[in-house]
Structure 1
Amino acid sequence: MPAQITYVSGHKNPDTDSCCSAICYSRFLKACHPKRNIIPMTAGPIMEQTRFILNKFGVTPPDVISDISPKAKHVPQTGRDVLNINQPVSQALEIYNQKQQLDFACIDDENNYVGMLQINDLITSILRPVNETDLTQISCTINSLIKTLGAQIVHNSQNLNEINQYRLVIPTMDIEGFKLISDTWDAERWSQSLFIMGYNPEITSYIIQNNGGMIILTRSAEQITRIKAMQKNHQPMDRVSSHQAINEMVHHEVESPEPTSVILQHVQTHNETDPLYNIIKEAPEHTTIMCTNFCVAAATVLSKQATPVKLLCKSDKVHQVKDNTPLRDIKERFLAHKQVHALAVVDQQGKYLNLLKRFDIEDVNLIDLVLVDHNELGQQPTGSQAIGVSIIEIVDHHKIAIDDQQKVQKMTVKPVGCTCTIIFELFKQKGVQLDKQTASLLMSAILTDTLILKSPTATKTDAETLKLLQDLTGIDYLQLGAEIFSSVQGFSSMDKKKVVKQDYKVFEAKQGRYGVSQVEVSSHSQISDDVINELLQILKEMSTNEGLFLTCCLVTDVQLNSSILITNGPASFADVVGYGLWKNKKCCYDLPGVVSRKKQLMPHLINVLSLLE
């Protein structure tokens, strides 16, 4: 899992100041906090003017992230144990005993997620079956029995990993009694029986004669001494204490079984007169014989726990989530499914990544967010209010309009014409070295946001900053500004709706909601009759789709210091707008000297709309 992320983001529909502020301030923060994972981003597509600037100075555009909501992949590793589907459930019970872990993700040998095992589900299937038949039934592999009982194979030719169904049989009577109770058994019943017994050559022989499925020989001083002597280079073992811990006995190192022929060679040389060895020597291929350090009672109880995990885990989709699932969806999953106590996180290929509990996503801080060039909630990137996101800082030049419920650790807000002007001051205050590329981005942003200092929003501080940046970069800011604004294609782009929506905001009035867009062009000569008709149609569609009573597009020619206002709204708007028609075009108004939406157009519109019935 990645380290905690700090995103530096501008507003939705980002302009040049928004984008360059994110890039430059992230560089500033990295210089101050080199160990933090700080990433610049934009909350929407980068506009044409900004791309020109980034290309000119060789800067890679920041990632466009439509939603910063933390995902499952952002949660740090929880470190919970996982189970291989071939492991016995005894492994889950042992981990529960040690760590009180109740839920287990189950995986295969390739780390593919298979299902979820819950300890509570084992109460019925393993710990407290509902009837006597269930008590005597066991589904297991030879390997799962070996792991559960810490057993060693004495005789076997069967597949160690094949799952078989057995009925448990505990021969506690003498040979005659055993013959009596097994008299009606057919061949299938014998082959599907698992016998757990102590040292009893007669009954062992009878089971082998009838092709019994499996024999587990339990602890007996004499038996263990003899069986262990079969193993190559293995010394006879001492009597096992009845107080020895189960997990110690289970995890006693089990060597790989030797071929039967080798074992029989040891039998011949060790003790040809012992009947048990002669019996084992004659055992058929399909009868498996193993020995364990446990007594009969303990081996009987534990054998039920030899069931492989894959037979009991739940494979339904409700217990898993993809790594790109937002935390809010994970929280909703937990709320909607009370029986779900843990969720396995998997990647897009189904590989297991992490195991999450309900409390893992409560009061968690996964993403720090720094807002630049905006602060109001409606302009913040999607996900800023999501679980796991904390807004730690705001750097802005707009009025403070942050939501009262949002807690911000630090705010730097100044009444200047551009956020990059503030960022330049922060570089100076902290003594952080400013390279030419970063300085060029700061200069470009100030030029665009202040319209080469022609905007009413431009301040003395902006002008002084441009001169300092000019000295630092060796770039004439007036020439750079002219180059930037000349590069804008404006409405020569095929997708005019996209151009209109690039710098677009929605406002409230007594009549309802209305939208105002601003588009900068190199010359008003681009505004032909066809362009006007197309723009009017786009504005009409926006009004209908978004429920707006008025939509406007302010088309600004920076070189002429003038704008055209194209509108779609009530007919009475023309009576109160207070501007003359542009070239006698209906719904198009000439606004000489107006270049700022915020400082010039919006105050006028607010007054006009108050007069509109």
Structure 2
Amino acid sequence: MAIYVIGHKNPDTDTIAASIAFADLAAKAYGGEFIAAAQGACPPESEFVLNKFGVKAPELLTEAAGKKIALVDTTDKTQLPADIDKAEVQYVVDHHKLGDVTTSNPLEMWVWPVGCSCTVVAAMYDYFGVAVPKPIAGIMLCAILSDTVMFKSPTCTEKDKKAVEKLAKLAGVADVMALGMEMFKVKSAVEGTPMRDLVFRDYKDFNMGGKKVGIGQLEVVDLGILAPYEEALYAEIQKVKGEDGGRHSVFLLLTDIMKEGSKMLYVSDDASVIEKAFGVKPDAKSVWLDKVMSRKKQVVPPFEKAFA
């Protein structure tokens, strides 16, 4: 029976690349059939990366019941198929805190405090003595550059940097920073994109103190690119707040990778959680968070404390 490798909803480049890479590695290291899958279409950056290195996109998978599953880049139920409890999770490869997925049987887990799931998968190739195919080295390299915001994110570690150095040689990439800027220019291109697609380009729901909280993020090379769209983005997150049974809050981080900070748009039943979390009083619709670039490390943990 095939094992499907999936990551979180609204997949990003790490989720896409990690599912492809782990499926390749696992088939060679463990034996059997592993199928790279995703819960949604590839975002523009991921499409660019896959096309650049000639790699096929994962197949679409939105139902997990009755299937054997390997999870990459998440263990949170809110980010997985609704029927994940009816699946058999056998593997986890991640770089986040542990979520609320449980299993009835023992499983293999590789969870490291690094900037990207692909850093973990790259180490697994080394551990099992499996050669990394050149195209897969390329997409993992890009995933690390994306997740660490070209090493600017506070989540970035020496392991991430060493993985990039090794993968770049395997992929034949001479200038990794130039490649990173290419990727972020693609990610920054928003003209003509529906506002809903932008809000959900990198969006996750969280359970915080029993309340449903949505946090999205748009990373651009210059915040000025998003300025003409802010009102429309705000109107969209207002809509999102009321959907799916309603949310307590929806936050959208507009991250400027050059200025190294984020303007956060918000709609909330209690805006005081922002000041509790960050010590900054917000304006009516937004707040500037200096040096905040990582949702995982700099936004989710303080919000969890504030909601508790």
* 1:372 counterpart = 2:72: yes
Query: 2:8 and 2:120 mapped to 1: Cα distance?
Result: 17
Confirm or deny that 1:19 pairs with 2:29: no
Question: Given the alignment, which residue of 286, 301, 306 partners 1:603?
Answer: 301
The 5-angstrom pairing of residues 461-500 of structure 1 reads: 461-475=159-173, 476-500=175-199
Match of 2:135 among 432, 437, 442: 437
Quote the residue 1:41 is aligned against: 37
Within-5 A mapping of 1:8-157:
8-33=5-30, 36-70=32-66
Distance in 2, matches of 1:399 and 1:575, equals 22
Where does residue 538 of structure 1 map in the other structure?
236
Cα deviations across residues 525-551 of structure 1 (Å, max 9, x unaligned)?
A: 1223x5122112111111122412321
User: For residues 472-496 of structure 1, what are the alpha-carbon distances to aligned partners after superposition, in whole Å with 9 as ceiling and x for unaligned?
Assistant: 2331221111111111145424311
Q: In the alignment, which residue of structure 1 is the partner of 2:256?
A: 557
Contact 2:274/2:281, CA 8 A, preserved across alignment: no
**Quick one: structure 1 residues 468 and 505, their matched pair in 2 at CA, closer, same or farther if it must change by over 3 Å?**
same
In structure 2, the residue matched to 1:384 is 84
How high is the TM-score relative to the length of structure 2? Answer: 0.89
Structure 2: gaps (5+ residues)? none
Conserved? CA contact 2:79–2:205, under 8 Å: no
Does structure 2 conserve the Cα–Cα contact (< 8 Å) formed by 1:448 and 1:481?
A: yes
What one-letter code is carried by the residue in structure 2 that aligns with 1:486?
K
Q: Distance in 2 between matches of 1:492 and 1:518?
A: 17
> Who wins on radius of gyration, i.e. which is larger?
1
In 1, are the aligned partners of 2:6 and 2:36 still within 8 Å (CA)?
yes
SS at match of 2:258: coil
1:601 and 1:497 mapped to 2: Cα distance?
A: 22
| Rounded Cα–Cα distance in structure 2 between residues aligned with 1:588 and 1:599 | 20
Aligned to 2:206, which of 469, 490, 507?
Answer: 507
1:548/1:421 CA distance change after superposition, 3 Å: same
SS at match of 1:589: strand
Say which SS state the counterpart of residue 143 (structure 2) adopts: helix
Decide whether the 8 Å contact of 1:491 with 1:521 is kept in 2: no
Cα distance per residue 1:268-307 (max 9 Å; x no partner): xxxxxxxxxxxxxxxxxxxxxxxxxxxxxxxxxxxxxxxx
CA separation of 1:494 and 1:469: change in aligned 2, threshold 3 A: closer
Query: What are the within-5 Å matches in structure 2 for residues 552-591 of structure 1?
Result: 552-570=251-269, 572-573=271-272, 576=275, 578-579=279-280, 586-591=284-289
Change over 3 Å in CA distance of 1:444–1:580 after alignment to 2 = same
Per-residue Cα deviation, 1:45-69 (whole angstroms, up to 9, x for no partner): 2212111111111111111112133
Q: Do the aligned partners of 2:89 and 2:103 also contact (CA within 8 Å) in 1? A: no
Q: What secondary structure, in the 3-state scheme, does the structure 2 residue paired with 1:486 have?
A: helix
Assess if the C-alpha contact under 8 Å between 1:30 and 1:38 holds in 2.
yes
Structure 1 pair 497/406, CA: closer, same or farther in 2 (3 Å)?
Answer: farther
How far 1:444 moved relative to its partner?
0.6
Q: 1:563 to 1:575 in 2, by over 3 A?
A: closer
Q: Give the TM-score, by structure 1 length.
A: 0.47
Is the Cα–Cα contact under 8 Å of residues 418 and 446 in structure 1 kept in the other structure? Answer: yes
1:207-242 superposed Cα distances (whole Å, 9 cap, x missing partner): xxxxxxxxxxxxxxxxxxxxxxxxxxxxxxxxxxxx
Counterpart secondary structure, 2:187: coil
Q: Distance in 2 between matches of 1:415 and 1:599?
A: 10
Quickly say closer, same or farther: Cα 1:390–1:548, change in 2 above 3 A: closer
Distance 1:64 1:390, change over 3 A: same
- Say if 1:390 and 1:570 are closer, same or farther in 2 by CA, change over 3 A: closer
Q: CA deviation at 1:511?
A: 8.2
Asked whether the equivalents of residues 43 and 382 of structure 1 are also in contact (C-alpha less than 8 Å), the reply is no
Residue type of the alignment partner of 2:58: P
> Post-superposition shift, 1:438?
1.0
Greater RCO (Cα-Cα under 8 Å, separation 6 or more): 1
1:455 Cα offset (Å): 0.9
Residues 572 and 424 from structure 1, CA distance in 2 versus in 1: closer, same or farther, beyond 3 angstroms?
closer
Asked if the contact 2:79/2:204 (under 8 Å) is kept, the reply is no
- Shift in Å, 1:26: 0.8
Structure 1 counterpart of 2:155: 457
Aligned to 1:30, what secondary structure does the other structure show? helix
Displacement, 1:571? 7.2
Is the contact between residue 511 and residue 549 of structure 1 (CA under 8 Å) also seen in structure 2? Answer: no
Alignment root-mean-square deviation, CA: 2.4
Q: Which amino acid aligns with 2:268?
A: G
Shift of residue 471, structure 1, vs aligned partner: 2.5
Q: Secondary structure at the match of 2:150?
A: coil
Aligned residues, how many?
Answer: 304
Aligned partner of residue 385 in structure 1, secondary structure: helix
- Gaps of at least 5 residues in structure 1 are 71-366
Aligned CA distance change for structure 1 residues 566 and 575 (closer, same or farther; 3 Å): closer
Task: Identify if the C-alpha distance between structure 1 residues 6 and 608 changes in structure 2 by more than 3 Å, giving closer, same or farther.
Answer: closer
SS of aligned partner of 1:492: coil
Cα drift, residue 586 of structure 1: 4.1
In the other structure, the counterpart of 1:103 is none
Q: Tell me, in whole angstroms, the C-alpha distance in 2 between the residues paired with 1:575 and 1:434.
A: 43
1:421 offset after TM fit, Å?
0.7
Q: 1:100-134: CA deviations, max 9, x gaps?
A: xxxxxxxxxxxxxxxxxxxxxxxxxxxxxxxxxxx
**CA distance 1:441–1:69, shift in 2 (3 Å):** same
The share of aligned pairs that are identical, in percent, is 28
